[in-house]
Amino acid sequence: MVCTYGMPQDTTDNNPALCECGRIHRPETRYKNNCRYDRDPEKREEENQKNRIRQSELRSDPDYNERRLRIDNEARREKMEDPEYREKRNAVAREWYEKDPSIKQNNNKNWYDRMPDEQKEELLKRNSDTSRESRKNNKMLFIEHYGGKCMCECGCDQSIPLLLTMAHPNNDGARDREEHGNHLYDVLVRNNFEHPYSISLECWNCNCGKNMNDGICPKMPEI
Give the whole-number percent of the chain exceeding pLDDT 70: 77
Least confident of 33-42, 47-56, 203-212: 33-42
155-185 burial by CB neighbour count: b if 16+ within 10 A, else e?
Answer: ebebeeeeebbbbbbeeebeebeeebeeebb
Q: How far apart are CA 145 and CA 155, in angstroms?
A: 19
Listed by start position, the domains of the chain span 1-45, 132-211
DSSP category for residue 164: E
**SS3 of residue 203 by DSSP:** strand
Q: What is the CA radius of gyration of the chain?
A: 33
Q: How much is the pLDDT for 144?
A: 93
Res. 24: pLDDT tops 50: no
Q: How much is the pLDDT for 91?
A: 86
Q: How much is the pLDDT for 40?
A: 67
Res. 171: pLDDT tops 80: yes
pLDDT tens digits along 110-125: 767 777 887 778 777 7
**pLDDT, averaged across the chain:** 77
pLDDT tier at 5, thresholds 50, 70, 90:
very low
Q: How much is the pLDDT for 148?
A: 93
Average pLDDT over residues 133-157: 91
pLDDT tens digits along 73-100: 788 788 778 888 888 888 887 887 777 7
Res. 164: pLDDT tops 90: yes
Q: How much is the pLDDT for 12?
A: 47
Give the whole-number percent of the chain exceeding pLDDT 90: 17
Q: How much is the pLDDT for 213?
A: 87
Res. 184: pLDDT tops 60: yes
Q: How far apart are CA 147 and CA 30, in angstroms?
A: 79
Q: How much is the pLDDT for 13?
A: 46
Identify which has the larger pLDDT, 34 or 87.
Answer: 87
**pTM exceeding 0.95:** no
Beta strands in 95-144, from DSSP E residues, in sequence order: none
Res. 18: pLDDT tops 70: no
